[in-house]
Structure 1
Amino acid sequence: MTYQSFEDLISAMTQEVCDNMRRAIETGKWADGRPLTREQRETCLQAVIAWEAKNLPEEQRSGYMEQQCKSGEGEPEEQPVTLRAPDRLQ
């Protein structure tokens, strides 16, 4: 099947196709054991992100992280940061 655009491809994808692409990205190979090329990995990643953005609520998308540092007043809470010089090997 040929698609006219990337959007057509995303519209035609099913949950199963998205899951297969996600698994291929994670393992670096297709279900039959063939390795993904760099281009295939990039294309699959773009397709998974686009499909999830269109079909899943934010909290169910790959990479979703609930914000853990919330203050009670709606203002961002300051987080102290300590910078250290890297240890030098001698």
Structure 2
Amino acid sequence: MTIQELIDHLKQYPPNTRVVIAGYQQGYNDIQKIIPVTLQLNQHHHGCNGAHRLAPPNLPYPCTTAAIFLGGYNPNCPYSTETHHAL
């Protein structure tokens, strides 16, 4: 999905609608991070991994793709802090 596709989709909803992401095992978390990343697409094929991975810093374009990471964590859990979920 591109930023424009996301914007077009989100325009259907009231501006004060909460946006969440899936929790680690259950539930949902608020988005608390918006981070630009550089990815290698379709690098993971195991079902429990995301399809893409962070690209090494020296890998040239067109082997990489720019993306935006949306992340969050459960602030009510003492073991779930922003520092534990850093890229």
TM range (shorter): under 0.3
Normalising by structure 2, report the TM-score: 0.18
Richer in helix (by share): 1
Richer in strand (by share): 2
- The structure whose RCO (Cα within 8 Å, separation 6+) is larger is 2
| Greater Rg by CA | 1
